[in-house]
């Protein structure tokens, strides 16, 4: 029986993780759950799964305790500084699902790695912001790291088991990350400035949270995944390619020196990579319908349109710059996406804000969590300045 901690249990990854766990009561026990502010959802999860601990942001702690008392649930509520890290590194936790979206997920993910846990990583930002720091923690503490993003999980399944010896030495020539192209793959580029948050969040294949849905629409999510793949698989940027695949059935591919290409296919359902991570090295039932290729009918692939999706090039540039550049990229993106979702920024200005912040930043090293967080904070300030300036300019034009 494995004790599982879920960081970000009320998000889509957390909900799907609980669904898979519930299918295997003989294998897994929910040990701890966390959410930022969704009191009702977290209380319902605690009542259903009876974790030992629940973590929530401090302003909501008393409301959660009251909800749990009403539900006759004896889960202990933990809040305040260090609460996430405490459940991630708890001695009785075996597996940590790191599913908090954004920079907020970094401290808990890093704490799990430093505690030598089996880390199921669904939080891109841990590697984007602090790739070297995070991977050093994994190796130094003999943690087990399993990628849960569908693309990286597919790459992990398609690589030889000794890929850590070096991609070139194991015959790998290229990693191909597939991308659906999001909701605007065929929309006229000239009309993208008029995109609404509702349109941007209407992904054709996946059901996701608002922030990651916008990242999919700009394809910044794919840029972040390129950075993630670099750290996960020790792959140089020129060995990582992005390929548009509208059906989201081929989740990613690995090309070998002999001309072979090995891919992982499946229905677009996050329970598949979650079940792979939970059961590894075994395979367990995920509750996902089996793939019917005859019904799918066709699989299409397209080269990435960089004019339509300029955020991808920004991510490659940040990766090549190194140091704190990826953390700056991520911070500026989070601020710009939030501003867009709040109606303060045009969709096409997301890229413009990130580009401006990244091009004017002094890129320093990111050898500690404090240095990463300092770069993140400074980039957010600069991004907010850019948003404010663009809002003022839009008012003058309007």
Q: Domain holding 255: CATH number?
A: 1.10.1740.10
What order of strands is seen across the sheet that includes strand 118-121?
Answer: 76-78, 53-55, 28-34, 2-7, 95-98, 118-121, 144-147
Domain-embedded: residue 276: no
Domain-embedded: residue 284: no
Indicate if 213 and 318 belong to the same structural domain: yes
Domain-embedded: residue 178: yes
Length of the chain measured in residues: 398
Which of 128-137, 199-208, 331-340 bottoms out in mean pLDDT, i.e. has the lowest? Answer: 199-208
Percent of the chain with pLDDT over 70: 99
Strand partners, 253: 176, 263
pLDDT of residue 55: 97
CA 110 to chain centre: 14
Inter-axis angle of helices 124-140 and 369-397, to 10 degrees?
170
Indicate if 234 and 337 belong to the same structural domain: yes
Indicate if 128 and 211 belong to the same structural domain: no
What order of strands is seen across the sheet that includes strand 240-244?
Answer: 261-265, 250-256, 172-179, 240-244, 302-303
Indicate if 301 and 163 belong to the same structural domain: yes
pLDDT of residue 131: 93
Integer Cα distance of 223 and 200 in angstroms = 17
For 218-245, the pLDDT digits (tens) are 999 999 999 999 999 999 999 999 999 9
Coil, helix or strand at residue 95: strand
Indicate if 186 and 305 belong to the same structural domain: yes
Indicate if 142 and 187 belong to the same structural domain: no
Helices (H), the chain: 12-22, 39-49, 61-70, 83-88, 106-114, 124-140, 150-158, 197-200, 210-218, 220-233, 271-279, 293-296, 311-321, 325-341, 349-360, 369-397
pLDDT of residue 104: 85
Indicate if 209 and 239 belong to the same structural domain: yes
Q: Quick check: 179 pLDDT over 80?
A: yes
Inter-axis angle of helices 325-341 and 124-140, to 10 degrees?
150
Q: Quick check: 56 pLDDT over 80?
A: yes
Name the band, by pLDDT with cuts 50, 70 and 90, for residue 4: very high
Strand partners, 256: 172
Indicate if 309 and 262 belong to the same structural domain: yes
Domain-embedded: residue 9: yes
Indicate if 172 and 101 belong to the same structural domain: no
Name the band, by pLDDT with cuts 50, 70 and 90, for residue 123: confident
Name the band, by pLDDT with cuts 50, 70 and 90, for residue 215: very high
pLDDT of residue 63: 96
Indicate if 198 and 100 belong to the same structural domain: no
pLDDT of residue 207: 66
pLDDT of residue 33: 98
pLDDT of residue 398: 63
**For the domain that residue 14 is a member of, what is the CATH number?**
3.40.50.720
pLDDT of residue 363: 86
> Which one, of 352, 378, 353, 354, lies nearest residue 364 by Cα?
378
pLDDT of residue 210: 86
pLDDT of residue 197: 92
Domain boundary among 99, 120, 147: 147
Domain-embedded: residue 279: no
pLDDT of residue 238: 95
Name the band, by pLDDT with cuts 50, 70 and 90, for residue 69: very high
pLDDT of residue 101: 83
Q: For residue 8, which phi and psi values (nearest 5 degrees)?
A: 95, 50
Q: Quick check: 81 pLDDT over 90?
A: no
What secondary structure letter does DSSP report for 149? S
For 184-200, the pLDDT digits (tens) are 999 999 999 999 999 99
In angstroms, what is the C-alpha Rg of the chain? Answer: 21
Percent of the chain with pLDDT over 90: 86
Which structural domain, as residue segments, surrounds residue 85?
A: 2-147
Q: Quick check: 89 pLDDT over 70?
A: yes
Domain-embedded: residue 273: no
Domain-embedded: residue 83: yes
> Average pLDDT of 101-116?
91
> Average pLDDT of 50-76?
96
Q: How many domains does the chain have?
A: 2
Indicate if 300 and 327 belong to the same structural domain: yes
For 127-142, the pLDDT digits (tens) are 999 999 999 999 999 9
> Which one, of 163, 304, 291, lies nearest residue 233 by Cα?
163
pLDDT of residue 212: 85
- pTM > 0.85: yes
DSSP 194-224: G--HHHHT--SS----HHHHHHHHHTHHHHH
Decide if 371 contacts 322 (C-beta within 8 A).
Answer: no
């Amino acid at each position: 029986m494995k004790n599982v901690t879920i960081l970000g249990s009320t998000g889509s990854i957390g909900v799907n993780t609980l669904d898979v766990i519930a299918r295997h009561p003989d294998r897994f026990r929910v040990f701890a759950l966390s959410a930022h502010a969704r009191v009702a959802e977290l209380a319902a999860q605690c009542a259903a799964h009876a974790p030992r601990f629940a973590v929530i942001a401090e302003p909501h702690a008393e409301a959660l305790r009251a909800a749990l008392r009403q539900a006759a649930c004896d889960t202990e509520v933990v809040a305040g500084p260090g609460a996430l890290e405490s459940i991630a590194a708890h001695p009785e936790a075996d597996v940590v699902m790191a599913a908090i979206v954004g920079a907020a997920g970094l401290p808990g993910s890093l704490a799990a790695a430093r505690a030598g846990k089996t880390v199921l990583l669904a939080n891109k930002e841990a590697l984007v912001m602090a790739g070297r720091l995070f991977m050093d923690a994994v190796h130094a503490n003999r943690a087990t790291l399993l990628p849960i993003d569908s693309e990286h999980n597919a790459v992990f399944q398609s690589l030889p088991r000794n890929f850590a010896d070096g991609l070139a030495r194991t015959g790998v020539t290229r990693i191909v990350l597939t991308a659906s192209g999001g909701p605007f793959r065929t929309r006229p580029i000239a009309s993208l400035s008029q995109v609404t948050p509702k349109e941007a969040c209407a992904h054709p294949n996946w059901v996701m949270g608002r922030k990651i849905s916008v990242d999919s629409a700009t394809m910044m999510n794919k840029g972040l995944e390129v950075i993630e793949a670099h750290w996960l698989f020790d792959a140089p940027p020129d060995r990582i390619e992005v390929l548009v695949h509208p059906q989201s059935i081929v989740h990613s591919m690995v090309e070998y020196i002999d001309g072979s290409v090995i891919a992982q296919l499946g229905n677009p359902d996050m329970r598949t990579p979650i079940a792979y991570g939970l059961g590894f090295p075994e395979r367990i039932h995920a509750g996902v319908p089996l793939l019917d290729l005859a019904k799918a009918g066709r699989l299409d692939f397209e080269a990435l349109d960089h004019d339509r999706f300029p955020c991808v090039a920004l991510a490659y540039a940040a990766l090549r710059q190194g140091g704190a550049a990826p953390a700056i990229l991520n911070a500026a993106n989070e601020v710009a996406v939030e501003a867009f979702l709040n109606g303060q920024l045009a969709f096409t200005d997301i890229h413009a804000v990130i580009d401006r912040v990244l091009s004017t930043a002094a890129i320093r090293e990111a050898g500690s969590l404090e240095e990463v967080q300092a770069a993140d904070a400074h980039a957010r300030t600069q991004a907010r300045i850019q948003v404010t300036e663009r809002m003022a300019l839009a008012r003058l034009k309007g």
